[in-house]
Structure 1
Amino acid sequence: MATDTSPGQTFPKREQFHGFMKPCRFEGEVRDLEVEGTIPDCIDGTFFRVMPDPQFVPFFDADPWFNGDGSVSAFRIQNGHVNFKQRYVQTEKFVREREAKRSLFGKYRNKYTDAVTFKVRSTANTNVFYFKGKLLACKEDSPPYALDPTTLETIGLYDFDGQLPSMTFTAHPKIGPVSRELVGFGYEAKGDGTPDVCYYSVSPDGKFTETVWLVAPVVAMIHDFAVTENWVVFPMIPQTCDIERMKQGGEHWQWDPNLSVYVGVLPRRGAKGSDVKWFRSPNAFPGHVYNAYEEDGKILLDISVSDKNVFFWWPDAQGNAPDPREIAAFLFRFTIDPNATTADPDLPPAELLLPENGEFPRIDDRWAMKKHRHAFFDLMDMSAGTDWATVMPVAGGGFPPYNSLGHLDLQTKRFQKYFPGPTHFTQEPVFVPRGETAEEGDGYLIALVNNYATMASELHVVDTRDFSKPQAVVYLPVRLRAGLHGNWVDAKEMAGIEK
């Protein structure tokens, strides 16, 4: 159902536009935010994150929150002080709608429902990362947009100086911790509904060094992927695309409860498209990747997995969708033999590493692509003492909520929880090492936290040596609705860019 977007209309009375999820729709800057506690001087850099935040009432009143305009936050932390800045990404969609003073964008990833024709249909709202002096805002159905990392001003659509071979670019590129090589891919890489996947790697100076085209067994979502020293791994979510359904005004994605999870494995260097091997695993929802590495000739993939459709707003063909309160994801480890000779081999059952409901994982990025010991993530701890009577009426809708942060030592199996408070939910954390030579996992978690009592946002800094309480809490005078992803950029990485 389309929404009347004439002047004076309000956002639909739906959970994704209610309470804490009511669109914020502001740009601005606040210097020297209030800080309770002490932020250590070793934390010197910027925490960038992005949230979908529609500037206008949506074209369709059931619009998922995933479809909002990309709004980027920057928290510059230095000498114990925090400056905050927020700006929209000036996508083609954003600029044209601002000119029209109304929404022109139709359903999520369905160009056939738009009010006008867009050259590049992007909201740039899923992730932001730093590469080659630019901040890149990503949405996996298009090239990224480049921003100035200091001012957050939009530079423009970024195709790596004309080198980007695919029409799409992942929202989860990986950066080699030593080589600084960017490893990425695009799915539906030749356009909506195409089974083509394009894998590429980019040198630190921006030159494409590997480009491999391959064909997936189904047209399905590949939101995240994994990289090891010698392999790339593509887990496919059983949300499938059908062009005819889209032309009839339907959704881009539809959950298929009968479809296996396909996992593609491709040599990282010197490969051809025919070198890819597609493994199968029983129907599930493979979510975000913790990390992957090689051991004894096998690939060990650590990933969040749910037995239900996490994107419940895109149901199956019969309209079936899980109750979001019943959705849970757990840390599993898949062991993959990349040298298997059987066509479409079934993967052995994954190993459950932690029976706790958690997602939005992070590791110490210095250990990316090799064996890691420490895992951090958002956690739902039903025993923590959340004040549900206060939270639920104003929480709004989106992902299943998380009320804590988790830390798992994979070597000792020690599991720790940080509970920010009875009226607080956590967003995706980032890890900041205590120093360049600190041991793996020795440092600080930084996470944006929703405070439903004050209806404002907070930034919590937690020392991994004492996970029971915050090192510091930074208070924002504003509310930032749920975001998707972000990254920490050390000040030394931005040397010569930042003044």
Structure 2
Amino acid sequence: MAPSQIIPQHFPSLPQFSHFMKPSRFEGETNYLEVIGTIPPEVRGTFYRVMPDPHLPSRVEDDPWFNGDGNVSAFCFESGKVHFKQRYVRTEKFIKECKSGRALLGKYRNKFTDAIEFTVRTTANTNIVFFNGKLLACKEDALPYEMDPATLETIGLYDFNGQLPSLTFTAHPKLDPVTKEFIGFGYEAKGDGTPDICYFSVDPLGNFTDLVWLVSPVVAMIHDFAVTENYVLFPLIPHTCDLERMKAGGEHWQWTPNIPLYIGVLPRRGAKGSDIKWFRAPNAFPGHTSNAFEKDGKIFFDLPMGKKNVFFWWPDSQGNAPSPQEVACHLSRFIIDPSSDNLELQPAEILSSEDVEFPRIDERFLSREHSHAFFCLNDDTAPTIWPTVMAKMGGGHPVYNSIGRLNLRTRQFDKYFPGNKHLVQETVFIPRSSGAAEGEGYLLFLVNNYETMLSELHLVDTDNFTRPLAVILLPLRLRQGLHGNWVDDEDLKLARY
């Protein structure tokens, strides 16, 4: 075999595969994790999260960090104890690579660079959501994979019993807390490079109630979206796809600074594709959505916004990209009049000057006016020992050393700092009870400990935001994840019975 054809048997010495970012590659379970502190008895349920975790060295040496296989963690909380389980999603890619003993997938979302042809080439590595008794591992380039909520065994691709015609499915579906509707979409819904968007709504029994085909003004990434009582909003990230570039072996995405930031606004029920309005704002990077709601005939849409290309590993056509240190996002609010024929938006209001991302709210208030938002926070005033952290961190992923809470009514910003050799991952909110006031409950999130090189779970009471109620110690290191969700034990019981 010629040297150029040698199949790599180890991960390259690149930041995205080194130190804490070394692929974890663990499947198994550990019961009765160590707990420092006290877990309240009302915290009963499972925290599911997923991380891109390559099970084999990639065919593409400089692969982006989030192109790894979906590896799902489940942390089950009961009676003050925590049990841990983790399994890879058995995607078509994973199964075929296990049989061949080598990586077969090529570049991120570029089928023209694969070693073989896949029917569905997704890694199912971006989010893990629960609806109608089903646990769904999602990545926005394909349909989700259904997994068993108890065992994490992969059941197979899920198309809502044949009701979903889209080839793709968002990694960020929304569950209306009042109507219990499950709302989603797929972009590039008819295949790579197509401008088609498929929007749909599903009733609590799993039946489609709305399905609308839309056409995007540009073929751009739509990573997240937002829902109000009467509208859905689609913010287009100015990374665009070009099929000819892909066929030539190039990247699926390229930063495009000469197009506006588009926000599509569509009536949520009974709409036609022609009913969408594409509002425009100056070129910018829209992050994960926080929430949207209606008030006085206007839509209030909150999300972190960056002025530069947050996905810096995909530069513009000239190869220009910011350094990671130049990238920052601030919570911003667009106010949109859905009845207006003037599609030029007023500049977004900056709600906080803090550098934040991965926003979460008390999801009992999703699509309704909310008062509290929680974030991963890059706090340059915190006493993080950066030389220690940076030496063991690895690279290619976002860096946040604190969790923030913003009161949108008073604009008070509170911070939780996990330790001076620690970074945080995305948080989830757990209500104290079903009848608790908004924002009253607990935050739960993974923490990377760069002294022990192990992972921790921190549980923080929102009534005492400065210190942890409990720290749960893991006996292993979990790579940087993307998204996860808390599923209450009562909902899981319904799925079992």
- TM bucket (normalised to shorter chain) is over 0.9
Counterpart amino acid of residue 113 in structure 1: T
1:287 corresponds to which residue? 287
1:330 corresponds to which residue? 330
Counterpart amino acid of residue 34 in structure 1: E
CA contact (8 A) 2:11 2:17 kept: yes
2:225 corresponds to which residue? 225
**d(CA) in 2 for partners of 1:224 and 1:236?**
9
Query: Secondary structure of the equivalent of 1:465?
Result: coil
Which 4+ stretches in 1 moved above 6 angstroms? none
* Cα deviation 1:189-246 (Å, max 9, x = unaligned): 1000000111000111111110000101000000000000000000000000000000
**d(CA) in 1 for partners of 2:309 and 2:132?**
36
Structure 1 residue 498, shift from structure 2 partner? 4.6
**d(CA) in 2 for partners of 1:410 and 1:487?**
23
**d(CA) in 2 for partners of 1:238 and 1:32?**
45
**d(CA) in 2 for partners of 1:175 and 1:165?**
20
Paired residues, number: 496
1:60 corresponds to which residue? 60
Structure 1 residue 390, shift from structure 2 partner? 0.7
Cα gap change, 1:93 to 1:4, in 2 (>3 Å): farther
Matched, 1:154 2:134: no
1:434 corresponds to which residue? 432
2:37 corresponds to which residue? 37
1:319 corresponds to which residue? 319
Matched, 1:96 2:64: no
1:273 corresponds to which residue? 273
2:455 corresponds to which residue? 457
**d(CA) in 2 for partners of 1:498 and 1:28?**
22
CA contact (8 A) 1:5 1:58 kept: no
Structure 1 residue 414, shift from structure 2 partner? 1.4
**d(CA) in 2 for partners of 1:480 and 1:258?**
38
2:351 corresponds to which residue? 353
Matched, 1:235 2:259: no
Counterpart amino acid of residue 450 in structure 1: N
1:422 corresponds to which residue? 420
**d(CA) in 1 for partners of 2:287 and 2:494?**
36
1:362 corresponds to which residue? 360
Could you list the runs of 5+ residues in structure 1 that have no partner in the other structure?
none
Could you list the runs of 5+ residues in structure 2 that have no partner in the other structure?
none
1:371 corresponds to which residue? 369
CA contact (8 A) 1:286 1:305 kept: yes
Structure 1 residue 170, shift from structure 2 partner? 0.3
**d(CA) in 1 for partners of 2:114 and 2:249?**
10
CA contact (8 A) 1:193 1:243 kept: yes
TM-score normalised by length of structure 2: 0.98
CA contact (8 A) 1:327 1:400 kept: no
CA contact (8 A) 1:312 1:324 kept: yes
Cα gap change, 1:154 to 1:359, in 2 (>3 Å): same
**d(CA) in 1 for partners of 2:209 and 2:273?**
15
CA contact (8 A) 2:8 2:57 kept: no
**d(CA) in 2 for partners of 1:150 and 1:368?**
27
TM-score normalised by length of structure 1: 0.98
Structure 1 residue 123, shift from structure 2 partner? 0.3
Provide the alpha-carbon RMSD of the alignment: 1.3
Query: Secondary structure of the equivalent of 1:177?
Result: coil
Cα gap change, 1:403 to 1:478, in 2 (>3 Å): same
Counterpart amino acid of residue 262 in structure 1: Y
Counterpart amino acid of residue 460 in structure 2: V
Structure 1 residue 400, shift from structure 2 partner? 2.6
**d(CA) in 1 for partners of 2:125 and 2:326?**
26
Structure 1 residue 497, shift from structure 2 partner? 3.5
Matches within 5 A, 1:25-424: 25-342=25-342, 345-424=343-422
Query: Secondary structure of the equivalent of 2:152?
Result: coil
**d(CA) in 2 for partners of 1:452 and 1:233?**
39
* Cα deviation 1:303-353 (Å, max 9, x = unaligned): 0111111111111111111110121111000000100123xx110010000
**d(CA) in 2 for partners of 1:390 and 1:220?**
38
CA contact (8 A) 1:4 1:59 kept: no
Structure 1 residue 178, shift from structure 2 partner? 2.0
**d(CA) in 2 for partners of 1:490 and 1:429?**
16
Query: Secondary structure of the equivalent of 1:494?
Result: helix
**d(CA) in 1 for partners of 2:84 and 2:242?**
42
Cα gap change, 1:269 to 1:496, in 2 (>3 Å): closer
Instruction: Please say which of residues 85-94 and 10-19 is displaced more in the overlay.
Output: 10-19
Cα gap change, 1:199 to 1:112, in 2 (>3 Å): same
**d(CA) in 1 for partners of 2:379 and 2:4?**
41
1:444 corresponds to which residue? 442
2:15 corresponds to which residue? 15
